[in-house]
Amino acid sequence: MTQRVYNFTAGPAMLPLPVLQRVHEEFFDFQGLGASIIEISHRSPEFEALLKETEGLLRELMDIPATYKVVFCHGGGQMQFSMVPLNLMGLKPAGKALYVESGLFSARAAEEAARYGVVTIAASSKDTGFDRIPWVNTDAVDRAASYFHLTTNNTVMGTRWNSFPSTDGVPLVGDATSEILSRPLDLRSFGALYAGAQKNLGPAGLAVVIIREDLLGHAHPLTPKLLNYTQLAHDGSLTNTVNTFAIYVTRLVLEWLKGEGGVAAIERVNERKAARVYRAVDRSGGFYRGLAQKEHRSVMNVTFDLSSPALQGRFLKEAGEAGLYALKGHSARGGLRASLYNAMPMAGAEALAGFMEEFQRRNG
């Protein structure tokens, strides 16, 4: 096995090494079947058991109440940008929804939802380049809205909600793609919470949706069968052939996380990792400049600029040579970004922060 880099990509992202080792070890022979996990039917008893275990682990780790369904969907977080309005816009007769615009992906979610109903931007931080979570006037929440959508962690600019607005009975729908399982999230605050797999769960092409049962049953008549939460919940996600490999890896990731002590334990590690990198930014005397306002900073995606943009190419080149991979920011913003998902060990954050400090000494 060759040297592994510290991989700071925003996703598809780094996975825990013990998970990769397990996939590698049993790749030719899943549970003694004489076939690979990617060669067996999604309706085989072995896979059906695996799917149930995956859901069970997720329920345990996230403390999901029994009144919520868990469904596995094709397509990642962005497929949910369509599925949420297709399934939930019809919850109330007005056919309207509220969206908070706190970054690139939340804006895309709102844009897609506008196909299916009347979308109102309840709050936005666009005016300051999405460097913060906008303030929501909870007194003004329209109770005729079918749901209220927000992105719990914003990957591009690196901000997150520390507490969630009270929406006066309007179901809160959260996109937790880039932070699911990184800190406890109380499901009881949400009508639905979803996440694409490719950051904290497993490989790409899969999303998990956790939805309160009473919100089912209101899909638009033109909802494609595989995009219908009610259908998927009824079929235990097996409406068609699911992304079996991604679910298999997700189960291994959940087992690994349980072994690490669960969500509360990994949250403590995540906070230490982020604090270490933010310290290198904040103590640089302006050599590095954080993109997000301090009180809104993400623990998963640390974003910053170099005060001298001309140095960015050298920074990325030398970081790469030091085994620090994929630190370039999202193309929509530029700059630098270190994604510190659950699989990133403390040593990776230490290595990055140390490199940043050393780079500053040589170039400051």
Interaction with a second copy in 231-290: which residues (CB under 8 A)?
Answer: 239-246, 249
Angle between helices 45-62 and 244-259 (to 10 degrees): 40
Of 52, 115, 234, 317, the one binding a second copy by CB under 8 A? 115
**Selected range binding a second copy among 120-128, 162-170, 217-225, 352-360, rule: CB under 8 A:** 217-225
Nearest residue (CB) to a second copy, 151 versus 284: 151
Nearest residue (CB) to a second copy, 131 versus 179: 179
Q: Minimal distance in Å, beta carbon 312 to a second copy?
A: 17
Nearest residue (CB) to a second copy, 146 versus 284: 146
Determine the size of the site formed for a second copy (CB under 8 A): 71
Residue 213 backbone dihedrals phi, psi, to 5 degrees:
-50, -40
Pick out residues in 85-104 that bind a second copy (CB under 8 A).
86
Nearest residue (CB) to a second copy, 220 versus 314: 220
Contact predicate 340/348, CB 8 Å: yes
How far, in Å, CA of 307 to CA of 243, rounded?
43
Q: Minimal distance in Å, beta carbon 138 to a second copy?
A: 30
Q: Is 361 exposed, middle or buried (0-12, 13-18, 19+ CB in 10 A)?
A: exposed
The number of angstroms, rounded, from the C-alpha of 232 to the middle of its chain's C-alpha atoms is 21
Q: Would you state the structure tokens that stand for residue 274, as one six-digit string? A: 């982020």
Of 195, 206, 219, 269, the one binding a second copy by CB under 8 A? 206
In terms of Cα–Cα distance, which of 293, 311, 304, 301 is closest to 363? 311
Pick out residues in 48-87 that bind a second copy (CB under 8 A).
74-79, 81-83, 86
**Selected range binding a second copy among 54-62, 159-167, 221-229, 346-354, rule: CB under 8 A:** 221-229
Full DSSP string of 135-154:
P--GGG--TT-SEEEEESEE
Instruction: Give the x-and-dash track for 3-32 against a second copy (CB under 8 A).
Output: xxx-x-xxxxxxx----x--xx--xxx--x
Question: Residue 96 pairs with which residues in a beta bridge?
Answer: 118
Q: Would you state the structure tokens that stand for residue 86, as one six-digit string? A: 């297709």
Q: Minimal distance in Å, beta carbon 11 to a second copy?
A: 7
Side-chain-facing half-sphere of 113: CA atoms under 13 Å: 32
Q: Minimal distance in Å, beta carbon 239 to a second copy?
A: 8
Pick out residues in 320-349 that bind a second copy (CB under 8 A).
323, 325-326, 331
How far, in Å, CA of 106 to CA of 112, rounded?
10
